[in-house]
Structure 1
Amino acid sequence: MKNKKKDFLRTIVENDLKSGKYKEIVTRFPPEPNGFPHIGHAKSISINFGIARDYNGHCNLRMDDTNPTKEDTKYVEALEDAVRWLGFDWGENLYFTSDYFSQIYDYAVQLIKMGKAYVDSLSEDKIREYRGTVTQPGKRSKYANRSVEENLDLFERMKKGEFKDGEHVLRAKIDMGAANMKMRDPLLYRIRHAHHFRAGDAWSIYPMYDFAHCLSDYIEGVTHSICTLEFENNRDIYDWVLDTLALKPPRPYQYEFARLNINYTVMSKRKLLELVEGGYVNGWDDPRLPTIAGYRRRGYTPESILNFCEQIGIAKANSVVDVAQLEFSIRDDLNTKVPRVMCVMDPLKVTIVNYEGSEEIEAPYYPHDVPKEGSRKIPFSKELYIERADFEENPPKGYFRLTPKQPVRLRHGYIITCKEIIKDANGNIVEIKAQYYPDSKSGTKDTSGIKVKSAIQWVSAAEAKKVEIRLYDRLFKTEAPEGIEDLNPNSLQIIKNALIEPAVILEKPDERFQFERQGYFYTDPVDYSDAHPVFNKIVGLKDSWAKKEKPKQQTTQPKVKQVQIDGEITPMTEKQKKVFEKYTDTLKLNNEVANTLARDAFLCDFFEEALSTCNAPVTLSNIVVNEVARVLKNTDAEALKFSPVHIAQLAKMIEEDIISSKIAKQVFEDMSKSGENPTQIVEAKGLVQISDPAQILPVIDEVIANNPDNVAKYKAGNNKLFGFFVGQVLKKTGGKANPKIVNELVKQKLI
């Protein structure tokens, strides 16, 4: 595999360290507190804090509070909260540009004394007119001829508040014919008679961004001032100010990267403010907004956003990223984390005529390819509810769910067959009378002889909990939205009477869930209560928009077979369909993994060869589809440094509990770079999984002893803290402890 290419910013940083230009790397994240931070800020946060972390430096969080008419403490708090939530810490390095107002003013006075700045009294329109055009040089104001003494007097009186807004400005005296129009005597200060949320009414003048920013960087000892490409032309002002003042080195330098642009999304704070203040969305944390607060309330994880930022990389040229890539990141993150449960959003009653009494069905929260433990008991009774779309009286071709002639399996339960359809006076189906097969229960030997092609979700009528579901979709209906005229009228759908299995509400195994065949959902952190549970849709199981936007096939194209995958009908060739059926029916792979392997000839052959060496289809397929496929995105198949035999050895160690799935990822990364045998890597680095309780128990005892408050909360009923204790034990053992054994031992210790 080719080595991962280092981004250009880190190359600059490394060269500066090697040359001795700086002793310590200092970056900064300098937002203006005039709105809530969005996903573009998340990219900037990850770059600035990430570079500081990678090179043992530090990153300052600095609020660029130079415009008192738009800024507010609530925005400062939102920015701090976003940085913390993403997992970064500025320590003691929280600053405000207003901290430096006196120093910046003194620097302005110094420029006036040098004859490099003057007070201009032209109107705003005249200043704009005199600036010239791209093809014509500008015209300098007659006020540029004022003496140093007059400029100093006027500037001092501006500071004291003797003039009205717009009556005077302070400008740098540079070059009115400069090719870079930013250098045509740019403004340094303007008059603003407005209350500042931190400085109060102490100032009547405020520095412009271009003047304050470079000086704030210098005062704080910033080395690398990293900003987006729209500030590229501003770099000349940045350098002019610092060079003209001849400030003592070391000094900072500005570097630009491409800002984040996402389709179906607006990133302008002005437009976001318009949406919020116009009532088009429900506040800055509306789950449809691209704000970090919005993503957080919707249910996105910090890891998914940071992984997204890492995947899109750091470029020098602007481009537009497909929002589907962000949606993939959250799916990929949640797939191995969240429990699977059943929720019925559009209930249709089913009465099982030959069933009496009730029972509880034990069902796992996680599929077999997710290395997590946990299960719940699902009540089963005579009266159930299924999804209305899971029954068709006159089914289309390729429909594999319940019909008058086609049986179906109730997920984790029994096979049922439709016996009678009950309709109301208007002909609407209101109930299905069904028959169940007692000898068809999941997890037992099925002797019913009934063959089914699909399993559907359901809930018991008596025990199901009523929940509100908020189905969020993209806020805009066009790829490149301009404003409110492009809003998607269907961006939010609220379902008031959905039904969910009781363990989700009563046992609360997590805050995020996969509602099977529906998508990923999150307990709304604001509106949720046990009396009125509310769930936000994070993302669907698939990119439904990609399906909507596919061009219609020409009628002359040959027809292909279709196969049912997670409730969606996806075209497949006959050969692919056979492979898919083999992997799902015989090898018991889940639909998504089988689908990927069936469609990719190289991955399929790679998997088959590995399988011939190690009979662990689920573990092997998971590695091939997730890890091997990821490497192939960045390198050619011929350049792979590992073989199917290596992957088989890795899978075997997982199956035999020699290493954990988490350690296996680390081993895979090493193997993909070096080509070394995975067994040798494990032995050389001492990565063998700890499964001996005698080695794990002392660590558990230490964690429990160090967290008495959390122990008390857990024993008082806060079951969510169980994951905290397990996580601490795994962390202290470097991820080597066997998670299954840790779960059991922690459970015993906390009784």
Structure 2
Amino acid sequence: MNAADRPTPTNFIRQIVEDDLASGKHRTVVTRFPPEPNGYLHIGHAKSICLNFGLAQEFGGVCHLRFDDTNPAKEDIEYVEAIERDVRWLGFDWGDKLFHASDYFQQLHDYALHLIRAGKAYVCSLSAEETRAWRGTLTEPGRDSPYRTRSVEENLDLFARMRAGEFPDGAHVLRAKIDMAAPNLNLRDPVLYRIKHAPHPLTGDAWCIYPMYDYAHCVSDALEGITHSLCTLEFEDHRALYDWILDQLPVPCHPRQIEFSRLNLSYTVMSKRRLHELVEGGHVHGWDDPRLPTLSGLRRRGVPAAAIRDFCGRVGVTRKENVIDVVQLETCIREALEQDALRALAVLRPLKVVIENYPADQTDWLDAPNHPQRPELGSRQLPFGREIYIERDDFMLDPPKDFHRLAPGREVRLRFAYFIRCERVVTDPASGQVLELICSYDPATRGGNAPDGRKVKGTLHWADARHAVRAQVRLYDRLFAVPDPAGEADYLAQRNPDSLQVLTDCLLEPALTDASGAYQFERLGYFAPDPDSRPDAPVWNRTVSLRDTWAKVAARG
């Protein structure tokens, strides 16, 4: 079954939305995807994107893209552009609903004044260390700040001077006045504003105080008329603060926050901090390194957006935290590519074959279908001559019994071509390495079938020496060698030393000279041209193998 034909699975959030619409609580659905522009999106974000945009589409509503740009010290326009590019690549569009938390800086400031005047917020002058020490623990209540009893007038004056830039970073903060003995630590007078003398990418030097995420997020939701504010489970304990803030303010609406489990993937790390460490430490080649779980890395690897959407749909939406086996993602990628990827012949580790009874100046052009199950995709012509190359692993001098490929005296089929037999082997006298094979072919087997009905057990892919395109091929694999690298004391030490192999003398059939999109290199896997690939210097990336080879590795281990 194609992903497009698979029924949309139900989940508890979809049920809530359906009930709210049926009861008349909401006339339409308004969701939002609120990324921080301080890094690239990864596949965990894809789950949230598909959920928020998908629900809006399903119920005829809208989904906003809102950048949570409340920390200018860590934000960059590069990240903004990458996020917009990734969301569009996944197949979603926010139309004219592009917003930024900074759009509401003035309103957030005015609401902060409202809280101060209502006796619900105060300026605190404790240091960050003192604030943490006085906060208490899960079993012990916190202590009131000595500045909690400042008058409304003093708080308004200090907050105005904070806004005017009179104080250095860390001198004061604005805190909500809730309950320092609350069992939920998020309600123990959380910080709403802090001083940060840093220019903002959009507002420049207009502000030197910036709202905290918990404050800016709920107010932004309310100002935009969000109906269902969907976030991951780590924000469950923040919901009480979300509701408290909105209950104190004259906001136009009070959205409902609903939490769901985040997407955790085996053999990778999803923490933005650790992704920054991998990129900035030079352990990978940038944010779009195909070994990373970033959407830009997956796209560069050749993964189709449809596979990501299908994967997110299969994972589902629950409130139970778990780790998804990366095999599930690889399966979705294979299934998507199996449907649409054209086929091609390529030899990654070439071994020369000379067909001694084939005319030296002759070239046959053999017809090969572009896809075995989709004749409507047509066919292409493969050149075949006296000298060809096969995969080095497809030959053995002294093969075991279960080896069904080429060996001395053995006959095999060349895909779409002829039967060939290995007559002699040329080796290096010093090392014993096989240099080339001398073979013969049967001209009656053109197309790969013998008129006398004889059978061969092996079918090999190949490349014509005269017409093949030389290319670099990058074999990408899992970045980490253990299922839970984040759980290790030194996660960097768990990197897979074979996560990238670069092969420089690969041979591709000539039809791939100007190819775009993903192809199945028969018997080898799915591959796609790298964005930096050029006709005179082609570079191809392995998207995924044809099967889960790691299962065999684990079984052997």
TM-score range, shorter chain: over 0.9
2:445 to 440, 446, 456: 440
Whether the 8 Å contact between 2:125 and 2:172 is mirrored in structure 1 is yes
Q: What residue number does 1:542 align with?
A: 547
**One-letter code aligned to 2:53:** F
Higher mean C-alpha displacement, 41-50 vs 397-406 = 397-406
The alignment partner of 1:476 has SS state of coil
Whether the 8 Å contact between 1:440 and 1:448 is mirrored in structure 2 is no
| CA RMSD, 1 decimal | 1.4
2:199 to 195, 201, 204: 195
TM-score calculated relative to the size of structure 2: 0.96
Q: What residue number does 1:152 align with?
A: 156
Whether the 8 Å contact between 1:437 and 1:448 is mirrored in structure 2 is no
Q: What residue number does 2:220 align with?
A: 216
Q: Give the CA deviation at 1:198.
A: 0.6
Query: Deviation string for 1:146-180 (max 9, x for gaps)?
Result: 00000000001001110010000000011111111
Q: What residue number does 2:3 align with?
A: none
In the alignment, structure 1 residue 263 sits paired with structure 2 residue 266 = yes
Residue ranges of structure 2 left out of the alignment (5+ in a row) = 1-5
In the alignment, structure 1 residue 50 sits paired with structure 2 residue 54 = yes
**One-letter code aligned to 1:485:** A
Query: Deviation string for 1:567-606 (max 9, x for gaps)?
Result: xxxxxxxxxxxxxxxxxxxxxxxxxxxxxxxxxxxxxxxx
Q: What residue number does 1:487 align with?
A: 495
**One-letter code aligned to 2:228:** H
Q: Give the CA deviation at 1:450.
A: 3.5
In the alignment, structure 1 residue 518 sits paired with structure 2 residue 553 = no
In the alignment, structure 1 residue 275 sits paired with structure 2 residue 281 = no
Q: Give the CA deviation at 1:443.
A: 6.1
**One-letter code aligned to 2:521:** F
Whether the 8 Å contact between 1:476 and 1:487 is mirrored in structure 2 is yes
**One-letter code aligned to 2:307:** S
The alignment partner of 1:463 has SS state of coil
Query: Deviation string for 1:434-491 (max 9, x for gaps)?
Result: 11111112266x2245320120011111111100000001111111113322211211
What CA distance in whole angstroms lies between the structure 1 residues aligned with 2:76 and 2:447? 58
Whether the 8 Å contact between 2:279 and 2:286 is mirrored in structure 1 is yes
What CA distance in whole angstroms lies between the structure 1 residues aligned with 2:7 and 2:511? 47
Q: What residue number does 2:255 align with?
A: 252
What CA distance in whole angstroms lies between the structure 1 residues aligned with 2:173 and 2:279? 33
2:292 to 289, 298, 309: 289
Whether the 8 Å contact between 1:171 and 1:188 is mirrored in structure 2 is yes
Q: Give the CA deviation at 1:372.
A: 3.6
What CA distance in whole angstroms lies between the structure 1 residues aligned with 2:354 and 2:9? 61
Q: Give the CA deviation at 1:535.
A: 0.3
Whether the 8 Å contact between 1:28 and 1:62 is mirrored in structure 2 is yes
What CA distance in whole angstroms lies between the structure 2 residues aligned with 1:253 and 1:106? 23
Name which structure has the greater RCO, CA cutoff 8 Å, separation 6+: 2
What CA distance in whole angstroms lies between the structure 1 residues aligned with 2:254 and 2:132? 32
Q: Give the CA deviation at 1:551.
A: 5.3
Q: Give the CA deviation at 1:514.
A: 0.4
The 5-angstrom pairing of residues 463-502 of structure 1 reads 463-482=467-486, 483-502=491-510
The alignment partner of 2:365 has SS state of strand
Structure with more strand by fraction: 2
Whether the 8 Å contact between 1:439 and 1:448 is mirrored in structure 2 is no
1:113 to 117, 120, 144: 117
What CA distance in whole angstroms lies between the structure 1 residues aligned with 2:185 and 2:511? 64
2:371 to 366, 375, 397: 366
What CA distance in whole angstroms lies between the structure 2 residues aligned with 1:378 and 1:25? 54
Q: What residue number does 2:333 align with?
A: 330
Q: What residue number does 1:320 align with?
A: 323
Q: Give the CA deviation at 1:188.
A: 0.3
Q: What residue number does 2:463 align with?
A: 459
Q: 1:65 and 1:135, CA in 2 relative to 1: closer, same or farther beyond 3 A?
A: same
Q: Give the CA deviation at 1:374.
A: 1.5
1:409 to 413, 417, 428: 413
Q: What residue number does 1:235 align with?
A: 239
Whether the 8 Å contact between 2:9 and 2:316 is mirrored in structure 1 is no
Total equivalences in the alignment: 545
Q: What residue number does 2:435 align with?
A: 430
What CA distance in whole angstroms lies between the structure 2 residues aligned with 1:27 and 1:4? 18
What CA distance in whole angstroms lies between the structure 2 residues aligned with 1:4 and 1:352? 55
What CA distance in whole angstroms lies between the structure 2 residues aligned with 1:437 and 1:33? 63
The alignment partner of 2:194 has SS state of strand
2:41 to 24, 37, 40: 37
The alignment partner of 1:232 has SS state of helix
What CA distance in whole angstroms lies between the structure 1 residues aligned with 2:485 and 2:395? 38
Q: 1:217 and 1:140, CA in 2 relative to 1: closer, same or farther beyond 3 A?
A: same
In the alignment, structure 1 residue 82 sits paired with structure 2 residue 90 = no
The alignment partner of 2:397 has SS state of coil
The alignment partner of 2:285 has SS state of coil
What CA distance in whole angstroms lies between the structure 2 residues aligned with 1:284 and 1:65? 20
**One-letter code aligned to 2:323:** V
Structure with more helix by fraction: 1
**One-letter code aligned to 1:335:** E
Whether the 8 Å contact between 2:230 and 2:259 is mirrored in structure 1 is yes
Q: What residue number does 1:623 align with?
A: none
Whether the 8 Å contact between 1:402 and 1:418 is mirrored in structure 2 is yes
The alignment partner of 2:74 has SS state of coil
4+ runs deviating over 6 angstroms: none
The 5-angstrom pairing of residues 650-669 of structure 1 reads none
**One-letter code aligned to 2:90:** L
Q: 1:551 and 1:500, CA in 2 relative to 1: closer, same or farther beyond 3 A?
A: closer
Higher mean C-alpha displacement, 314-323 vs 16-25 = 16-25
Q: Give the CA deviation at 1:22.
A: 1.3
